[in-house]
Amino acid sequence: MMDRTNLLLFMSCSIIHLFISCLASNLLNITTDQSALTLFKSQFEHDHSNVLARNWSSDTPICSWIGVTCSFRHHRVAAINVSNMELSGIIPPELGNLSFLVSLDMTGNKLYGNLPKELSKLKRLKLISFSFNRFSGKIPSFFEAMPNLQQLYLRNCSFTGSIPPSLSNISKLEALDLAYNSLEGMIPVQIGNLGRLKILILGGNKFSGAIPDSVFNVSTLEILEFSYNSLSGNLPANMCRNLPSLTYFSVFSNQLCGQIPSTIGECSQLRTLKLQLNQFNGRIPKQIGNLSMLLYLYLGDNNFEGNLPMEICLQLPAIQKLSLGQNQLTGSIPRKLGNCSSLVELYLEENMFTGGIPSEIGNLLNLEILNLQINNLTYIPTAIFNISTLKHLSVYENQITGSLPSTMGKQLPSIREIFLAENYLNGPIPDFISNASSLTTLDLAVNKLSGRIPNSLAELNFLATLSLGANDLTSEASGMSFLTSLTNCRCLRNIWIDNNSLSGYLPDSIGNFSSSLEQLDLSNSRIKGRIPKEIGNITNLAFLLMRNNEFTGFIPFTIEGLKNLQVLSLLGNKLSGPIPDGLCHLPNLGELTLSKNKLYGPLPACLGNITSLRYLHLDSNELKSSISPTIGALKDLLVFNLFSNFLSGPLPLEIGNLKVLTSMDLSMNELSGSIPSTLGGLNNLITLSLAQNRLHGPILDSVSKMLGLEGLDLSRNNFTGSIPKSMEKLQHLHYLNLSLNKLTGEIPNGGPFAYFNYQSFISNAALCGPRRLQVPPCPSNHHHRSRQKAVLRASLISFVVVSTIVSLIISFFLIKCQRKNRVPSDRMDSFPAVMPERIRYHDLQRATNGFSEANLLGVGSFGSVYKGTFTDGTVAAIKVFNLHIEAAFRSFDTECEILRSLRHRNLAKVKSSCSNIDFRALVLEYMPNGSLENWLYSHDRPLNLSQRLSIMIDVASAIEYLHHGYAAPVVHCDLKPTNVLLDDAMIAHVSDFGIAKLVYAEDNVVLTGTLATFGYIAPEYGSEGLVSTKCDVYSFGIMLMETFTRKRPTDDLFTAGLSLRCWIYDLYSHSLGHVIDATLLNSEEESFDKNVECISLIMKLALDCSSELPGERINMKEARATLQKIKKLFFPHL
């Protein structure tokens, strides 16, 4: 009995000892967990939410801490979730002591540094999520030491390097997300060994090469995401054979090519298929129609061709989004699209579809977005305007004819945006449009609409943009009451009704527009009478354009109240009186255009107060005064035009302060004195005209310091002395006129002077030089000087007499020709045709008002560009070649030869041409928003980051087409911001092919003597004249740098061996924020970091494009694809 009692006592003591030992052990282990978490908390530099500071305290049990979960069985820390707490700091190694941890989620913080290798001790971990942090270095290989790991999320963590093959050893892994890092190299073949993998997300990196076939053999896969990389090659022919569970497949924005495999139809569970922004070609396989569970199909921005498969909607009852835009699809739009009864969004834009829009689309009762813009469609059925769910309708830039249905708007209660511009619609604007009560944008511009602008538009309470320009719309005889009614639309921001036949008086009620109105364009609309003083009440107005009307009277003084005004253009009216001083009180004014009126009085000295001014056009008026020295305060002025006034006195020295000035025209005035020495400081000047004044004295050497000068006109003055030989340095000078002065001595023969002809120098005192310039030869030194002097004296006397007679004869015939206003013969000679029809010289002369200065848009390399308005209302840009320059003939031939065969949405379109014996011109598509150069250096209307990126993608697309989309690659040779023009939608068009080259193969090199623009020119082009497609790539890289830094490559900063590229290269890795245009950097931290990251990728691309050696540069396909990825990454909704 005693033995039994002792035994029981012993066992009880043992159990109690064991319990106490276990309890002590658990207390010790939980203490270890608490210590690790306390140290983890102490590493945080910032705890913005203050959760951990307030809650993770030794006063409370660890298992009750926010974000901490303990296991019931072991009473140990099993899960940590501190996601989205804005924590900043590093992860301490002691976190590896949490040996019972199963789940670790630190998503959405600001953690940085390397992941500690001690984490490999966490053998129980099943889930790790470190996404959206700022770690550095490579993805560690220690994850393979976690045998139970099932989910690994490392999205957007700033990791570099390649995918470690060791990840393929995590046999239980089901989800792997490495998206949006900076990973590169090939996707490891070993990924295919992960037999349980369901989710694989690798998008937003720099992976290259083909997608391994092994990936397509992982039968458990449900999600495959490879977007935004540089993957190439084809999709496997049997890609769907072993993927029975695949629901999501995305490879958009890569460089994949070939055809879509016909076996795509075997991915029977597929709900999302994204193949857009690649180089897929061939026809769209009809087997896509077998994917009966498909919801979203994106095939846009590829090279698909042929007809759209008729079967595409037969078996797709659930499809909601169908995107096939920006391909080369032809034929008619299938009527079977009407069977996609669940369709919400349909994108077929920028293809080559013909015929009418099928009425069956009107059966899509869930349709919200219909985008058919930029095709060749000819008819829009009434059924389209009966889709009650429709919110966005875009059919602009087609060939739609006929009239709008009279009931348009009656069945569109949800419509917000209607874009029908650039078609051939006729008839009136329906009154029922007012029933579209949700409408915010109505764009019917550039059609043939007629009749009155309906007053019922005023019932559109949410209308923000009304674009009716370039039609034949009218107003009632008594006035423009529609404007009065529109003042009831309190959300209106933009009114564009220019280029119509309104023929009325501007009502006083115009002042009743709400403060939301920002842009008002009434140009070219035959409006007459006075400008109402009430216009000063539209206090938020930024753009006021009323050019080419019949306004009379004074400019109202109340315009001073438009404090937000950025552009004021009253060109081509009959306004009189002085320029009001109130204009000087507009602090944001960037453009002031009052040309071609009857304004008189002095040039206001207070104009120097408008320091925001970039464009000043006061030409063709009757202003009479001197030019005030205060003009020198306009530090940002780009264009200064006072042509054809009565200005007198000397040019002020302060004019040399206009350091960024690119164009100055002071011709046809009464200016006197000499050229100020400060003029040579205008290093950015491209065109300078001081013609037809009373200036005298020598042409100063300082003129030769304006190295960017392309056009110089000093004719019809009293300049004396010789032509400075230093002007031979002006390598970009294409136009020179020194005629009708009193110049003497030798005409320089180096540099650009080799290309000028005699008309640049006629009617001077005693110039000498080559025979082709029709001047006597210059004397040479030899032993018989005295005899030579006598001969020379006699020759000079004879020459002076003959020259005087010849000059008189020439002057007589010039005056006679001017009086007769001789029209050149319309006879066509053998120049290559640009369009099937040519246009007559007389039509061009009438469209440009006799090639008047008021219509001059700019002076280029080999001629001038004018704005022309033809009798049918069509507006075009007319490029007139200066045949005084011998190279202009070659330039005209080159542009004709190149442009007649090219067709791309981002190339300037040539509409027609005129070629006579003594006249050459191209008629080009008019770009109302001018050049990228103008926008980049405009303080009052800065381009935002997404706009600049979109513009450069447009440029890249154009150059990619020139290099890779044409039978013989075309090298543009002069890529720069001034040659990138922007249409009214801010879409970029590359122009000016005057020195372009055909190289017949992408890698070929040709030799040329034609020079491009300094600063943008590739090293091998400038030094050796070697031209290849890589020259354009180099120029594109420099343009990228300039676009996002707002620094010209010719900026004063870049001297003594420092270039724009070197500057960016030196600061790229550590001080990129110092080179970025300040207007792109938002003060908010999130936007700041996002923009810097985006521009960092762009600058990396720019450096890759502008490598010193041509062989190290990427091609334009790669450049365009990279920019597309960047746009999709940072602006996915654009």
Residue set of the binding site: 879
Residue 130, burial from CB neighbour count under 10 angstroms (0-12, 13-18, 19+): buried
By C-alpha distance, which of 974, 977, 935 is closest to 954? 977
Q: Which helix (H) or strand (E) holds 551?
A: strand 550-553
By C-alpha distance, which of 977, 1015, 1006, 1012 is closest to 994? 1012
Query: Taking a C-beta distance cutoff of 8 angstroms, is the pair 122, 103 a contact?
Result: no
- Residue 725 is given by DSSP the state G
Instruction: Give the list of residues 6+ apart from residue 126 with CB closer than 8 angstroms, or none.
Output: 102, 103, 148, 149, 150, 151
CB atoms within 10 A of CB 1024: 11
Q: How far apart are CA 687 and CA 641, in angstroms?
A: 11
Instruction: Give the list of residues 6+ apart from residue 570 with CB closer than 8 angstroms, or none.
Output: 531, 546, 547, 551, 555, 593, 594, 597
Q: How far apart are CA 634 and CA 692, in angstroms?
A: 25
3-state DSSP call for residue 813?
A: helix
3-state DSSP call for residue 988?
A: strand
By C-alpha distance, which of 561, 497, 543 is closest to 938? 543
Return the ∠ at Cα 959 (arms to 956 and 965), rounded to 5°. Answer: 115
Residue 190, burial from CB neighbour count under 10 angstroms (0-12, 13-18, 19+): middle
Query: Taking a C-beta distance cutoff of 8 angstroms, is the pair 80, 103 a contact?
Result: yes
Query: Buried b vs exposed e over 217-249: b needs ≥16 C-beta within 10 Å?
Result: bbeebbbbbbbbbbbbeebbeebbeebeebbbb
Q: How far apart are CA 420 and CA 444, in angstroms?
A: 5
Query: Which tokens sit at 624?
Result: 């009479």
3-state DSSP call for residue 712?
A: strand
Residue 1001, burial from CB neighbour count under 10 angstroms (0-12, 13-18, 19+): exposed
Q: How far apart are CA 446 and CA 467, in angstroms?
A: 9
By C-alpha distance, which of 740, 737, 741 is closest to 689? 737
Tokens 């329906």 belong to residue: 430
Please, what is the angle between helix 1116-1130 and helix 1085-1105, to 10°?
170
In the set 177, 974, 1032, 1051, the catalytic residue is 974
Query: Taking a C-beta distance cutoff of 8 angstroms, is the pair 503, 479 a contact?
Result: no
Annotated binding site for ATP: 879
Query: Taking a C-beta distance cutoff of 8 angstroms, is the pair 1009, 1027 a contact?
Result: no
Q: How far apart are CA 995 and CA 889, in angstroms?
A: 11
Active site residue 1066: no
Instruction: Give the list of residues 6+ apart from residue 681 with CB closer than 8 angstroms, or none.
Output: 656, 659, 702, 705
Amino acid of residue 891: S
Query: Which tokens sit at 269?
Result: 């569970």
Please, what is the angle between helix 1116-1130 and helix 1029-1045, to 10°?
30
- What DSSP string runs through 77-135? EEEEE-TTS-EEE---GGGGG-TT--EEE--SSEEEEPPPGGGGG-TT--EEE--SSEE
Q: How far apart are CA 734 and CA 1051, in angstroms?
A: 22
Q: How far apart are CA 478 and CA 187, in angstroms?
A: 73
Query: Taking a C-beta distance cutoff of 8 angstroms, is the pair 136, 110 a contact?
Result: no
* Residues marked as catalytic: 974
